Structure 1
């Protein structure tokens, strides 16, 4: 997706209602992807869930950034003062993935923060059925939590841009 020329672009949401609607759509997307992650985690093949999570998470972050109009390409289309504001707002809310191109290294950094997930999920693989279910549950909760945090960070950045009047002078 990031290697293709970005021909579809979404503007930063133009109102608080738009931000709320995009936030809810993205939270639904997070829940769907977390369920996919949990489904893969339930398969008793050590390592499969980690590889799957890397791909699912990278796609999720890209999709959320795109929905909020905060992908790297979309931010680069903003006027310089709003571009700076977008990145400053992302830093202030802890949204280190807002406006970033998702690479395997970036995803690995984020998933390392939830290192308990990988250890618990892998340990669970060796306990029949109950371990697989626990692994899936841990995977779902961790994936959802990280996804929700990113959605909230993007919503805060979009709110900052709205307050600054990004749509009034566009």
Structure 2
């Protein structure tokens, strides 16, 4: 389990780099003027990327199952509070397709622009990069919030932030 805010910030930074790299791959696939290639590659990219992000934050189903009961309840509560659709879950093609469908407006625009000579491919690549970056970074933000909540809830009472206005004897 993640123990410090600095460690959590480092994980976030590493994951953002992974998302940027994956977004570039998505943009490259979007430039190819063959229908469906880009969506298929986006699904494949996300099927690899999302579990890696979950793993870095300690939020794969296996990692959560290995926690003690109290920690597991804290993590599952944090996931529920954040409303994440991908943290703590097995990432399937069906789940990825469902999430991509929510972004269908951008995907439709990307597919249409592809067929505009010269500039269309560049626009499609740009839309694909932006959409992938948005999805990946949103997931990182969710995982960060979940991990932070779990970390703060697992601190011993003496390490917890003091409640303003209460004396030490009133806090206990």
How high is the TM-score relative to the length of structure 1?
Answer: 0.88
TM-superposed CA distance for 1:167, in Å, is 9.0
Count of aligned pairs: 157
Give the counterpart of 1:55 among 39, 44, 50. 44
Contact 1:14-1:167 at 8 Å conserved across structures: no
The structure number with the bigger radius of gyration is 2
Aligned-pair RMSD on alpha carbons?
A: 1.5
Q: Are residues 1:127 and 2:116 paired?
A: yes
Give the counterpart of 2:146 among 157, 163, 166. 157
* Runs of 5+ unmatched residues, structure 1: 1-11
CA distance in 1, matches of 2:156, 2:21: 31
- 1:22 is paired with a residue whose SS is helix
CA distance in 2, matches of 1:122, 1:112: 14
List 4+ stretches of structure 1 deviating above 4 A. Answer: none
CA distance in 2, matches of 1:167, 1:156: 19
Q: Are residues 1:76 and 2:71 paired?
A: no
Q: Are residues 1:34 and 2:23 paired?
A: yes
TM-superposed CA distance for 1:94, in Å, is 2.2
Contact 1:82-1:166 at 8 Å conserved across structures: no
Output one character per residue of 1:9-36: Cα deviation in whole Å (capped at 9) or x when no partner. Answer: xxx3210000000001000100000000
Which position in structure 2 is the counterpart of 1:18?
7
CA distance in 2, matches of 1:76, 1:23: 22
- Provide closer, same or farther for how the CA distance between residues 167 and 140 of structure 1 changes in structure 2, counting only shifts above 3 A: farther
Output one character per residue of 1:100-152: Cα deviation in whole Å (capped at 9) or x when no partner. Answer: 11111100111111111220111012112211111000000010001001001
TM-superposed CA distance for 1:81, in Å, is 1.8
How high is the TM-score relative to the length of structure 2?
Answer: 0.87
TM-superposed CA distance for 1:166, in Å, is 6.7
